[in-house]
Amino acid sequence: MEGKRVAVGWAARDPRGVLSPYTFTLREMGPKDVMLRVLYCGLDHTDVHQMRNEIHLTIYPIVPGHEVVGEVMEMGKEVEGRFKIGDIVGVGCIVGSCGECACCKSNREQYCSKMVFTYNGIDVDGRPTTGGFASTMIVNHRFVVKIPKKLAPEQAAPLLCAGVTAYSPLKHFCRNEDNKNGGVKVGILGLGGVGHVGVLIAKAMGHHVTVISSSNKKKEEALQHLGADAYLVSTGTKEMDEAVASLDFILDTIPALHSINSYLSLLKPDGKILLVGVSPQDLQVNSSALILGRKTITGSFIGSIADTQEVLYFWEEKELKSMVEVVKMDYVNKAVERMEKNDVRYRFVLDVHGSHLS
């Protein structure tokens, strides 16, 4: 450990996925790198899937966290001018890509075959990357975005994964030129971390927004606080029947196995389901539900670095406000438990710096 920078974080050490304090060394700073002191980090379902090895690729110990807001502490020679010491910056889900392929050259680096995840990826020194549940990170500046001045850092954290996950497909698929006959009708399926920012973003884009949820529990909040236009309970047969063929798009944010056939019936002909929540098991599709109406099931993975920067400025410009619950690091295992019961409005954000890890 001699001469190396030490970071203090929280790691899971086996598939039980329980997090506990963990000290490790960081890689060397390169000329293109930024070192940041982590201030806040969001918690999402992918973190839990990874901590428990539910995607079967986890390297233990694993230090999760990919909605990272930090402060620039140091930077490499080639980064000077882009950032200053003390700038508030963000890191999302990826920290590397080849930089040369067609995806990398067209602002789609999240689809590069050599893309490197922020944690549990392979870093330039051959060791696993470590995320924002830690005091410090070293990241190539290409994957670091600026946090606009008007955004509170804890507010910005969920935008770096959840926010761009909703923003990128809404921007890509739900085009304004389609905005005829009373506007684009967008359904948001699942009102969690991604869903709640999805409602705010789709509304700010000018669309008509229906929240689709399994119970009435979040109805008042969706309509009154998030500004949704309609609320549909997916278990209510009569409501679902009445809503058949009423939507142009459904942003499906459910990060678990679920049946999508009943949601396909909610789409108008040529409608699309945009999958953004990763289910560890395969989904089943009724082929006639797609064929009768020329419907599409498609997917979208986070967004590009350019989209990530864009959603932050969009948020600032539209004066949006995410709903977060800020907790200290030693609450993280309890936060995971509560998130799994949907007992959070709507995103846990860890106050990493305020938890005095080191």
Interface contacts to Zn ion, rule CB under 5 A: 44, 46, 97-98, 101, 104, 112, 161
Exposed e or buried b for every residue in 173-195, given b needs 16+ CB within 10 A? bbeeeeeeeebbbbbbbbbbbbb
Whichever of 36 and 91 has its CB closer to Zn ion, that residue is 91
CB of 46 to Zn ion, least distance (A): 4
Which residue spans within 125-235 are E strands per DSSP?
A: 136-140, 145-146, 185-189, 208-213, 230-233
> How crowded is residue 65: how many other Cβ atoms within 10 Å of its Cβ?
28
Q: Are 163 and 288 in contact (CB under 8 A)?
A: no
Whichever of 41 and 222 has its CB closer to Zn ion, that residue is 41
Whichever of 141 and 185 has its CB closer to Zn ion, that residue is 141
Q: Tell me the C-alpha distance between 269 and 244, whole Å.
A: 11
Start-to-end CA distance of the chain, whole Å, equals 16
Question: What three-state secondary structure class fits 129?
Answer: coil
CB of 262 to Zn ion, least distance (A): 26
Beta bridge partners of 10: 21
Whichever of 23 and 342 has its CB closer to Zn ion, that residue is 342
* Helix spans in 160-251 (H): 162-173, 193-204, 219-220, 237-242
CB of 210 to Zn ion, least distance (A): 24
Whichever of 44 and 154 has its CB closer to Zn ion, that residue is 44
Residues in the chain: 358
Residue type, 118: T
Whichever of 122 and 233 has its CB closer to Zn ion, that residue is 122
CB of 85 to Zn ion, least distance (A): 28
CB of 140 to Zn ion, least distance (A): 13
CB of 182 to Zn ion, least distance (A): 33
